[in-house]
């Protein structure tokens, strides 16, 4: 039940649907001057975000992790795990493990 309620609230937020979760909020919404008048929602302009240029890093800048030829990323994951394990074994900034 809790999951369904959360999903419904997320959809309401996504589509900008007002929701009253208690009587005080419902009274406030119904008594609002916007309740019986025409409302023009403000649409956000995401064109700058959508058309932005993303930096492309070379393989060397990414730490040399390359995906295997099969495309499953096994070699990349193994190399990343090895690097993570090495980082854990190294002492921290102040010489503490």
CA atoms within 13 A on the CB side of 83: 10
Neighbouring C-beta atoms of residue 9, cutoff 10 Å: 13
**3 state DSSP class of 41:** coil
pLDDT digits (tens, 9 = 90+) for 25-51: 999 999 988 888 887 878 888 899 999
Euclidean distance between the first and final Cα of the chain, in Å?
Answer: 45
- Cα angle vertex 41, ends 45, 37, to 5°? 165
pTM beyond cutoff 0.75: no
- Cα angle vertex 57, ends 54, 58, to 5°? 150
Average model confidence (pLDDT) across the chain: 74
């Amino acid at each position: 039940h809790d999951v369904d309620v959360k999903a419904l609230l997320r959809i309401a937020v996504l589509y900008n649907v007002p929701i009253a979760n208690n009587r005080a909020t419902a009274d406030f919404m119904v008594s609002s001057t916007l309740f019986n008048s025409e409302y023009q929602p403000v649409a956000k302009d995401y064109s700058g975000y959508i058309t932005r240029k993303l930096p492309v890093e070379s393989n060397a800048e990414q730490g040399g992790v390359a995906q295997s030829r099969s495309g499953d990323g096994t070699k990349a994951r193994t190399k990343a795990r090895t690097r993570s394990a090495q980082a854990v074994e190294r002492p921290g900034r102040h010489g503490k493990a």
